[in-house]
Amino acid sequence: MTDPVLKNDRLIRALLRQPVDRTPIWIMRQAGRYLPEYRETRARAGSFMDLCRHPDLACEVTLQPLRRFDLDAAILFSDILTIPAAMGLGLDFVENEGPRFAKPIRTRSDVARLGVPDPERDLGYVLEAVRTIKRELGNRVPLIGFAGSPWTIATYMIEGGSSDDHRLARTMLYQEPATLHALLEVLARAVAEYLNGQIAAGVDVVQIFDTWGGILTPAAYREFSLRYMQAIMERLKRRSGTKIVPVILFTKGGGAWAETIAASGCDAMGLDWTVDLGDVRRRTEGKVALQGNLDPAVLHGSEAAIRSEAAAILAAYGRGPGHVFNLGHGISQHADPDRLKVLVDAVHDLSAPYHQG
């Protein structure tokens, strides 16, 4: 059963592979720098982390894209690096560079010092943002909560920030696998408690962002990324009263492992643009819903190109429920908001025939 109070429950229904009238759409990073109103609120907040730490401002930027576009969901405005920040690594977002940790994790004794943050005590600002957004949304659309996968969060903690080659994280994987496992274990516990905190605070769906799972070998993906996401999914309280909280697992670059991911315990799998949706649908035999997978660069194309590429994604998935439209990764900060409107409206207009009869 989907939450009876939601006015628009297309996303929940699609994630549970129940019939819908139109294909729901939301966009990864739908709140962000491509929107002038986001840049204005962020300037008012001072820094990106100040924006995350003030529930009213986080709520404001969460709602901004919904005022412009006919989206079927809101996503909590926060970041996957709130957990290592709460673990005391000293997080800063450096202008035009990205995240940087003052105290990266390099050794077994660094890992031994890490504790599992208490969601209410250490990440209360995120839970307060969830409660504020739920109140302001008034059940118009579902709210998506999220966290990073242990492996993806670990890469930032080990590298000390963003990295082109993830050399230090991959060195630890082959040189000190026990240290990496210890780090992933504490992160899996932290992520499970954090997501359960978000569910208790009111989120309707959760997505696990495994942005860097796709850089691993198939065997290393199973051992160092998927296994810990499975441990999280086993611990999630997916029923909250009468409502079911579906889980979306997004491994960027994970298309080759679709069958394995579909059997991992998720309700839906996010896909990037390197795979054909129809192909993955056949391979996964309707076991999970599929989310994706328009190339974000399509938004730099003409309006006609946006419509025809959207039509191609809908056709690739084909008829029937179980598809959530999204980009294959986050929207670019250089995207034109008017082009995103063309996409959202096209998906709603063009998808109705796939759900009739």
Residue closer to ligand CP3, measured from CB, 213 or 322: 213
Among 12, 31, 180, 205, indicate the residue that binds ligand CP3 (CB under 6 A): 31
Rounded Cα–Cα distance for residues 21 and 342 (Å): 19
Q: What is the DSSP secondary-structure string of 240-286?
A: ETTEE--EEEEETT-GGGHHHHHTTT-SEEE--TTS-HHHHHHHHTT
Question: Considering the complex, what minimum distance in angstroms separates the CB of residue 67 from ligand CP3?
Answer: 14
Question: Considering the complex, what minimum distance in angstroms separates the CB of residue 99 from ligand CP3?
Answer: 5
Residue closer to ligand CP3, measured from CB, 149 or 264: 149
Binding flag, residue 33, ligand CP3 (CB under 6 A): yes
Tell me how far CA of residue 195 lies from CA of 106, 147, 255, 258, 262, in angstroms: 26, 7, 25, 24, 20
Binding flag, residue 45, ligand CP3 (CB under 6 A): no
- Can you read off the two tokens belonging to residue 276? 């054909």
Q: Can you state the percent helix, strand and coil of the chain, rounding each to 5?
A: 50, 15, 35
Active site residue 33: yes
With CA atoms as reference, report the closest residue to 12 among 201, 261, 249, 203: 203
| Candidates 34, 38, 156, 317; catalytic one | 156
Active site residue 42: yes
Question: Do residues 116 and 46 lie in contact, with contact meaning Cβ atoms separated by under 8 Å?
Answer: no
String of contacts with ligand CP3 for each residue 190-209, x by CB under 6 A:
-------------------x
Rounded Cα–Cα distance for residues 149 and 190 (Å): 11
Binding flag, residue 48, ligand CP3 (CB under 6 A): yes
- Tally the residues of the chain: 357
- Can you read off the two tokens belonging to residue 74? 């809101």
Binding flag, residue 124, ligand CP3 (CB under 6 A): no
Among 58, 75, 208, 258, indicate the residue that binds ligand CP3 (CB under 6 A): 75
Active site residue 164: no
Residue closer to ligand CP3, measured from CB, 12 or 61: 61
- Within 284-323, the residues that bind ligand CP3 by CB under 6 A are none
Active site residue 283: no
String of contacts with ligand CP3 for each residue 160-179, x by CB under 6 A:
--x-----------------
With CA atoms as reference, report the closest residue to 191 among 119, 261, 251: 119
| Candidates 9, 72, 79, 122; catalytic one | 79
Residue closer to ligand CP3, measured from CB, 31 or 85: 31
| Candidates 13, 42, 53, 339; catalytic one | 42
Q: Contact region for ligand CP3 (CB under 6 A) — 27-35, 241-249, 259-267, 284-292?
A: 27-35
What does DSSP assign to residue 123? S
Burial of 185 (0-12, 13-18, 19+ CB in 10 A): middle
Question: Considering the complex, what minimum distance in angstroms separates the CB of residue 312 from ligand CP3?
Answer: 24
Binding flag, residue 81, ligand CP3 (CB under 6 A): yes
Binding flag, residue 221, ligand CP3 (CB under 6 A): no
What SS3 class is residue 229? helix
Binding flag, residue 77, ligand CP3 (CB under 6 A): yes
Active site residue 156: yes
Question: Do residues 27 and 11 lie in contact, with contact meaning Cβ atoms separated by under 8 Å?
Answer: no
What SS3 class is residue 169? helix
Question: Considering the complex, what minimum distance in angstroms separates the CB of residue 260 from ligand CP3?
Answer: 21
String of contacts with ligand CP3 for each residue 98-117, x by CB under 6 A:
xx------------------
Tell me how far CA of residue 114 lies from CA of 109, 157, 224, in angstroms: 9, 11, 19
Question: Do residues 92 and 99 lie in contact, with contact meaning Cβ atoms separated by under 8 Å?
Answer: yes
Binding flag, residue 330, ligand CP3 (CB under 6 A): yes
> Footprint of ligand CP3 on this chain (CB under 6 A)?
28-33, 42, 48, 75, 77, 79-81, 93, 98-99, 146, 162, 209, 211, 330
- Active-site amino acid positions: 29, 33, 42, 79, 156
